[in-house]
Amino acid sequence: MKRKKPLVIGNWKMNLTCSEAVKFAQLLRKQMITTNKIVCGISPSFIFLKDICTILADSAIFVGAQNIHSERAGAYTGEVSAFMVKEAGCSHVIIGHSERRHIFGETDAFINTKVKTALSANLKPILCIGEKLHERAGGKTTLVIENQLKNGLRGIGAEHIQDSVIAYEPVWAIGTGKTASPEQVNEVHTYIRGLLIDIYGKDIARDTYILYGGSVKPENTRDLMAQEEVDGLLVGGASINLESFLKILDSASNFS
């Protein structure tokens, strides 16, 4: 038995037009039948966050942003603040995704500031951490995970950590079709849980969601969710196809 309801979040990345996203959200709200067994959220593009938040208002499905800037406001052309997405109706925000780290050069220090800004806006941060293929091959997985987790949560008190979500996403498994084995995932999640216990204590650590992300699809959901330390999933490509996302939700709901 899982200790709490599984948490599944769809990260749409730079996909779907507004009309496609609206239709998806309408159908998801109508067809999702596992609301009493699962916690579900989706993270659309900025440009139609308000539309999706309106459709899903008062439903069991929350909406999260894919990113925020570290500053509350300012001369940052093209950026979006935590307070903007909060006003749009979001409850969560993805921070430190590997694509932000490795394509856009975001550092641990910058990501840490974003986490603090999110919390100041009453947004729940979804902090992503994970190693590259050469780091895993070199036996540096735990070192990378520890540095990213501790640096990302630096200065975050125990009163806020339970409002946060940790997502383990091995970089080599994102968008590649490769998935870490369930045993590999559980091993890293166990290590993350241990770090949280060291920092915040056992009770808080046990209540903190640790998700897995990286080529999640209906076919591997059950095996991933069967792992003791996997509390849920951060789904990429499979979350922009309604049929596959519903199958993932249905499979994950069996571990409530």
**Over the stretch 90-114, which tens digit does the pLDDT of each residue have?**
999 999 999 999 999 999 999 999 9
DSSP for the chain, please give it. Answer: --SS--EEEEE--S---HHHHHHHHHHHHHH---TTT-EEEEE--GGGHHHHHHHHTTSSEEEEES---SSSSSS-TT---HHHHHHHT--EEEES-HHHHHTS---HHHHHHHHHHHHHTT-EEEEEE---HHHHHTT-HHHHHHHHHHHHTTT--HHHHTT-EEEE--GGGSSSS----HHHHHHHHHHHHHHHHHHH-HHHHHHSEEEEESS--HHHHHHHHTSTT--EEEESGGGGSHHHHHHHHHHHHTT-
Taking phi first (over 0 means left), then psi (-120 to 50 degrees means alpha), and beta for anything else, what does residue 21 get?
alpha
In this structure, of 34-43, 62-71, 217-226, the range with the lowest mean pLDDT score is 34-43
Q: What is the pLDDT of residues 129-169, one digit of tens each?
A: 999 989 998 999 999 999 999 999 999 999 999 889 999 99
In this structure, of 27-41, 69-83, 198-212, the range with the lowest mean pLDDT score is 27-41
Q: What is the pLDDT of residues 26-40, one digit of tens each?
A: 999 999 987 889 999
Q: pLDDT at position 1, please?
A: 40
Name, of 1-15, 118-132, 159-173, the range with top average pLDDT. 118-132
**Residue 178 pLDDT exceeds 80:** no
Q: pLDDT at position 3, please?
A: 63
Stretch 48-77: mean pLDDT, rounded? 97
Q: Read off the pLDDT band of 174 (50, 70, 90).
A: confident
Cα distances (Å, whole numbers) of residue 74 to 89, 121, 169: 21, 16, 31
**Residue 180 pLDDT exceeds 90:** no
Report all structural domains of the chain as residue ranges with CATH numbers, in order of start: 7-253 (3.20.20.70)
Global pTM reads 0.96
Judge whether 248 and 233 are in contact, CB under 8 Å: yes
Mean pLDDT of the residues in the chain: 95
Q: pLDDT at position 112, please?
A: 98
Stretch 108-129: mean pLDDT, rounded? 98
Task: Cite the active site residues.
Answer: 97, 169
